[in-house]
Chains A and B, each alone.
Chain A
Amino acid sequence: MARRRRFRPYFRLGLLALALLAAGYVLYLDLRVRHEFEGRRFALPARIYARPLELHVGLRVPEDDVVRELRELGYHPVARQDRSGWYVRNGAQLDIALRPFIFWDGPQPARELKVGFEAGAVVSLTDAKGADLALARLEPLVIGGIYPTNNEDRLLVRLGEVPKVLVKELIAVEDRNFYTHWGFDPRGIARALLSLPTGHVQGGSTLTQQLVKNFFLSPERTLRRKALELVMAVLLELNYSKQEILETYLNEIYLGQDRDRAIHGVGLAAQFYFDKPVQSLTTAQSALLVGLVRGPTYYDPYRHPQRALERRNLVLRETRDEGFISAAEYQAARASSLGLNPKPSTGTTPYPAFVDLVHRQLRHDYDEDDLRSEGLRIFSTLDPRVQAAAEHALSDRLAAFDRKGRFGKPGLEGAVVVADPQSGEVQALVGGRDPRYQGFNRALDAERQVGSLLKPAIYLTALQDPSRYTLATMLDDSKFVWQPRNAEPWRPENYDRQYHGQVPLYLALAHSYNVAAARLGTTLGLDSVFATARKLGIERALPPYPSTLLGAANLTPMEVAQMYQTIASGGFRSPLHAIRDVTTADGHPLKRYPLAVAQAFPPDPMYLLTAGLQDVVREGTAQSLANWLPPVLGAAGKTGTTNEQRDAWFAGFTGARVAVVWVGYDDNRPARLLGATAALPVWGEMMAALEPEPVAFPQPEDVEKATIDPQSGLLADSACPGAIELPFVKGSAPKDRAPCAGNPVMDNVKGFFQRLFGN
């Protein structure tokens, strides 16, 4: 008795402690359930858009390219009554029914357009009634996202947007008592056990339990985990309504795999499998998605169409058996084909190199977690037409080299950067010969010797002082030894192992003579040349040796592109960037990346340098560019070839684009390729495909032209062979006449009489 009395308080205390512990644990679970549910419910990857195609009269774009972009956007090639998202092509006339879209500067409603084309340009743009429109933007293509670590992707949908029949099908197949149970369903479990022998598989887990399993738990199947799942399911039901649970389920559920991208939720699945919004799914299409819940890989409709069809029809049958659809509806749906979207899968992005750049630039301003979960809308600068041209040109050319068969394995690699010189917007980025490969991004990360690409920094340094240097200044390309204190002497050589004596500056640049450039660079001083390089946009410290002048410095293609952007814009440096605007998921503007311009050099020396770089193309190392671009464009650029030809480069610009191409081996073995034979053809082929505009810098007021004899660098006249017209800062042109030119006094006298008496 006494013992019992003594024992009872302990027993009660123990029970109480146990109950408290259990209650605490349940409270903890409750907290976790609520926390995860609220937090995870809205985890959305950042979505990255290409630039929108802006249509206006005067836009130079082939009609085919506009149609291709509309197809990529999923527009249908037939008119559809009362619907947007289609186009009709009638010869040179294109009718487009634009979908509504929320741009960074506000929403654009759905509207119909009529676009007229002629000779590769838009010549008319009107609305459906024929009234002229100044501008119309197509919605931009989605080019990728920044995903959670498991690459989950989804498009959030509201329950009200999901077709009722889809919900009915889901409930018929997965959880018939969903609206009445408390998170678990004894009847469902019993039915599952009973149905085992029939082979008619019923899961037994409620939708709530499936959601808990996906949200909180590892996939192992233990009794403890099953119990935990049950408790959490009940907690979920206590905290949230059936509607909320259902909506979350429909957004959470895993429904397929697109390479490395996991397709979650019915919103994205509708787009992925059928290329339509979830609202427009038919009974049969909804049934296919519901059928995928059990095993998106096993029932993958692309790989196992027959299996997927049977599964779909099973879903339809059970839905009919539950009385959710009529027999007629069932028959009609059953008779329809799978109707899959034939679009090839692209994984997380078809443009991994560019998306990598976007991601790196976003990291400056955003928290990594926010990027992966807040559903930010990133409006990038990618131009899909330019990107396609860059990819094709690089892979075509590298494949051609492969066919010649002397390049071994692993094969040649390459990278391309294309930007708008006026704004610094990156239009295309190719990180390797397989543009879909998500690995090493050579455009951003391959640090390679640049060879002669740095020479413009030497010549620009010189041309800033017109009292000492002009394009016609004779430079000394004879044997040169540089003897620094306490170091080995340096003896630069030309590529052809020859010396060329006295050459005018513009020809030394055009033919890329190393010795003349080295002598000029050391005369100007390494520090001055490096300062010029820095102002051109090279932020990295260059090796403090004279060999740097000839390009013994490693830079990435992106860094080279920044340098040439400054040149291509006439001295106005704009940081290369890949983002225009960022908005929240619902379109509220968050951040703009405004156009930034810094005048790094005055116009005069830039004009002279550009004329020099045009000479590189006209008569120098890049004259083979005429195979792709007409000379009238006045394209400007520079070839680069490094020691033992490990790296082949071409960097240059036309009127509206600056681009850099690098070709070489990843392991840095000699490629025996020249900038002009390996990189230049990629550049030329790409630019030729993109309606190049002429380089047309207006001549600065302080610049005048003079005709020069290239042999002497002095004033020429019609008697001088090969005379060339060059720009000079006013007053800096040579005063003396070349030996080939006639006597100026006699000419003047002749001219005087001619003026007096006429010819």
Chain B
Amino acid sequence: MRLLLVFVALLAGCAATPPTQTPPPQEPAPVEAAPPASPGVPAPPAAPAAPAPKAAVERLMASARTDVAASRLGSAEATLERALRIAPRDPRLWQQLARIRLQQGQYRQAESLAARSNTWAGADNALRAENWSLIAQARDARGDRAGASAAQQNAERYGR
């Protein structure tokens, strides 16, 4: 939701920048293109914003935490995937899943999932630091010492 707002704000920002009309083409228009939207057809409106699925995600995260505490990793994994279908841009879900993969010994998955979490982390540096620390552990477990220490440095940089 917040991301959507940021995006809309960015677009609003774009609209205020210098006119972005394409100059008259010097070359004939490429024939692979279809004619652009006819001016008579109004562009469909952007979809209205829906309330965030906060309650659903929190509930599933809590349930996954209970599962992890009880060592039911398979069940926790299924629950987090369920939550991710609802909120695929929630970096905490990707991180929890990364942590489970680490516990399951699936180090490459753990690393990719933590990196996935980082792409949605925004300004949450604490979350980034945890992700880098997860990546460091995964690399270390795989025997990639150099990679692990580089990741650890990132973790410390964000952790400050």
Contacts and interface: CB of A to CB of B under 8 A. Distances in A.
A441 interface: no
Nearest to B47: A691
Contacts, number: 196
Interface in A298-352: none
A59 B77 contact: no
Interface residues of B, number: 68
Interface stretch (A241-249, A389-397, A493-501): A493-501
Contacts of A121: 48, 50-51
A692 interface: yes
A373 interface: no
Interface stretch (A194-202, A288-296, A716-724): A716-724
Contacts of B33: 511, 620-624, 639, 674, 676
Interface in A21-60: 54, 56-60
A570 B119 contact: yes
B86 A722 contact: no
B43 A720 contact: no
B18 to A, nearest CB: 4
Contact of A422 (B8, B45, B84, B108): B84
Contacts of A633: 46
A501 B55 CA distance: 56
Interface in A627-645: 627-634, 639, 641
B113 A597 contact: yes
Given A132-B55, A423-B85, A697 B119 contact: yes
Given A121-B51, A134-B59, A592-B74, A629 B81 contact: no
Contacts of A581: 78
Interface string A495-518: 110101100000000011100000
Given A135-B59, A592-B74, A621-B30, A722 B47 contact: no
A597 B109 contact: yes
B23 A710 contact: yes
Contacts of B111: 599
B22 to A, nearest CB: 5
A134 B52 CA distance: 12
A496 B89 CA distance: 41
Nearest to A719: B18
Interface in A688-723: 688, 691-694, 696-698, 700, 707, 710-711, 716-718, 720-723
Nearest to A105: B78
A621 B6 CA distance: 28
A581 B77 CA distance: 12
Chain A interface size range: 35 or more
B18 A720 contact: yes
Given A494-B30, A676-B33, A722-B22, A696 B53 contact: no
A603 B85 CA distance: 22
Nearest to A121: B50
Nearest to B108: A598
Contacts of A56: 53, 55-56, 86
Contacts of A570: 119
A209 to B, nearest CB: 49
A725 interface: yes
A720 B23 CA distance: 10
B30 A511 contact: yes
B34 A680 contact: yes
B47 A603 contact: no
Of B23, B36, B56, B82, the most chain A CB neighbours within 10 A belong to B56
Nearest to A625: B37
Contact of B122 (A120, A627, A698): A698
A657 to B, nearest CB: 11
Contacts of A105: 75, 78-79
B78 A592 contact: yes
Contact of A624 (B37, B81, B115, B122): B37
A58 B54 contact: yes
A694 B4 contact: yes
A626 B43 contact: yes
Contact of A629 (B21, B44, B55, B109): B44
A57 B38 CA distance: 37
B47 A698 contact: no
A58 B52 contact: yes
Pick the 7 closest A-B CB pairs, nearest first: A58-B53, A56-B56, A134-B59, A121-B50, A626-B37, A676-B34, A422-B88
Interface of B: 3-4, 6-8, 11, 14, 17-23, 27-38, 41, 43-48, 50-56, 58-60, 74-75, 77-79, 81-82, 84-86, 88-89, 97, 108-109, 111-113, 115-116, 118-122
Interface of A: 54, 56-60, 104-105, 119-123, 132, 134-135, 420, 422-423, 452, 494-496, 498, 500-501, 511-513, 570, 572, 580-581, 592, 594-599, 603, 619-624, 626-634, 639, 641, 656, 674-677, 680, 688, 691-694, 696-698, 700, 707, 710-711, 716-718, 720-725
Given A58-B54, A722-B22, 9 more contacts: A54-B56, A119-B50, A570-B119, A594-B81, A596-B109, A630-B44, A639-B33, A676-B33, A700-B119
